[in-house]
Structure 1
């Protein structure tokens, strides 16, 4: 199988993204207008603080840390000291379902999601935190427990590459319970509190249950949604014919005909907007990534590090 990075990715490709992730951070100060700024997409919490001890006040101590009860009891100013948590766990959730195996420009959604998942993992690792994740397709969910280790990132990237390379147009679609919601339920079981959860998906099949699970996850964790989409959903070609494949079924549509173009365009763009609206209702920061542009370039812009970059 040719792992060209546009349709299929390789483990070596995902591991090499360590260098592209070095100047990216989820926790960097974000400019106004960034995806991580504002009331509806609050800045990430960062690492927590653990109480260390009470001690006598010293000039320069933060007055907000004065312990008034202890100060009144001793008759002298006393402050509470804290130590920063050494690290925090992160779960990188990467979608490799059949709905992701599509691309009309440059890359397939599945390949972009694989790259974004690896970039997110390296960003977390470079920040000194533990990395784990869930990689899922229509039939199975692979879980990797968080650990600060290059071997753990290699294990995560290996699962991403394996599931990515298993995608094939002849694969059957999933049946039964919605897989996306199953994955979010597993996230809830794994992440009690103070995790960073990064979900990379097209969010196909998302509904009210998905919204409920996202809100539950975001109550005690930092959750980021990375929605991968194809530009065809926004700009359907006006001329020629469009070949749509699903497993062994192929349908050719004459998109130059208005009675075909308008309903199909309305359906595709409406579905994308519906999912984006649902995600925004969850109050989870939402980033959107097109298959037409390189993943790292878009991630830099979404994080607010590219001057003047806006979605």
Structure 2
């Protein structure tokens, strides 16, 4: 981890542990509202603009529009392809499935991946609040699962974030099960809304099947949190690598060949995760511990809005 005494850039996630937890949560709320609020206003949800369920106006088809929204009656009457816009529901129920397994208790840049995951949930909590909207969560560290019922209000959002921050860290050798966490959102069935999955998605892709099953009823968003050392090895000579979820350790020499092979394998896994999320119909936001997470979120939102507007800026 980076030395806490080093000067941190203004965009770095606040420290969210120990006696700095409450101050960090207040700072996080201010950062979200100051840097994101206003940009993400409009139809639910700014983070993932969805089609809604109420019929709206018809407009001419533009390249990139979803052909499933074609309005054939208007198209036949005007002889010009039209699609039917829809209006987002007035109330939104959002569920967060957070994988807090031991692999998130790691970070070599400005924060741990666990802190970055909390920042992502904070953005979702504050930006979907109000208007009768509700937020719930399922948090799991592999050994313990906490279910927080969906409720509305700023006080509830703050309580949810506090429980997230205070979730015990997983003991070494405890494996997480993201597929089981997602499965808990399917049974019992919930009202239509938004499901946000937060994880580093290390390991296999057994979670793809239950995630795809959720897409039939909910809008999906996946937040992938990464650290630079998840992607490449530094040139440090001999180093001991440890798997926090199994406790296994191995001493390796970080030669140029090994670093290239590690980077290639890591990139192949990232591509596999992105492909699985795309096939499940989930929007994919990547946050890194060495990058401005708010700026990355803004770019994600702008890209999503542009796609839904037919490519218009």
What is the TM-score normalised by the length of structure 1? 0.70
Deviation string, structure 1 residues 99-124 (Cα, Å, up to 9, x no partner) = 11222222211111111111111111
CA shift, 1:217, in A, is 0.9
Q: 1:13 aligns with which of 24, 46, 66?
A: 24
CA distance in 1, matches of 2:125, 2:47: 19
Q: Work out whether 1:293 is the aligned partner of 2:299.
A: no
Relative to 1, partners in 2 of residues 1:116 and 1:263: Cα closer, same or farther, differing over 3 Å? same
Alignment deviations for residues 249-274 of structure 1 (CA, whole Å, 9 cap, x no partner)? 6544321x234323333333322222
Report the counterpart of residue 254 of structure 1 in structure 2.
253
Following TM superposition, by how much is the alpha carbon of 1:186 offset from its aligned partner in structure 2, in angstroms?
A: 0.9
Q: Tell me how far 1:86 sits from its aligned partner.
A: 4.0
1:189 match: secondary structure: coil
Give the root-mean-square deviation of aligned CA atoms.
Answer: 3.7
Q: Runs of 5+ in structure 2 lacking a partner? A: 5-12, 60-86, 307-313
Pair 184,241 (structure 1): closer, same or farther in 2 beyond 3 Å: same
Distance 1:206 1:160 in 2: 24
**Which segments of 5 or more consecutive residues in structure 1 lack a partner in the other structure?**
37-42, 51-60, 65-82
Correspondence list, 1:129-144, <5 A: 129-144=133-148
**Correspondent of 1:210 among 197, 202, 207:** 207
Residue aligning to 1:44: 50
The 1-side partners of 2:155 and 2:267 are apart by: 40
The question of whether the paired residues in 1 share the 8 Å contact of 2:232 and 2:262 is answered with: no
Match of 1:92 among 89, 92, 96: 96
Distance in 2 of aligned mates of 1:162 and 1:62? 46
Shift of 1:84: 7.7
Task: Map 1:198-237 to 2 at 5 A.
Answer: 198-207=196-205, 209-237=206-234
Maintained 8 Å contact 1:108/1:291: yes
Distance across 1 between alignment mates of 2:213 and 2:285: 19
Relative distance call for 1:26 and 1:223 in structure 2 (3 A) is farther
Asked if structure 2 preserves the Cα contact closer than 8 Å seen for 1:14 and 1:115, the reply is: no
Larger mean CA deviation between 257-266 and 151-160 belongs to 257-266
Tell me if structure 2 keeps the 8 A contact 1:109–1:229. yes
Length-normalised TM-score, structure 2: 0.70
Residue 126 of structure 1: how far off its partner (Å): 4.6
Matching residue of 2:273:
275
Distance 2:291 2:177 in 1: 27
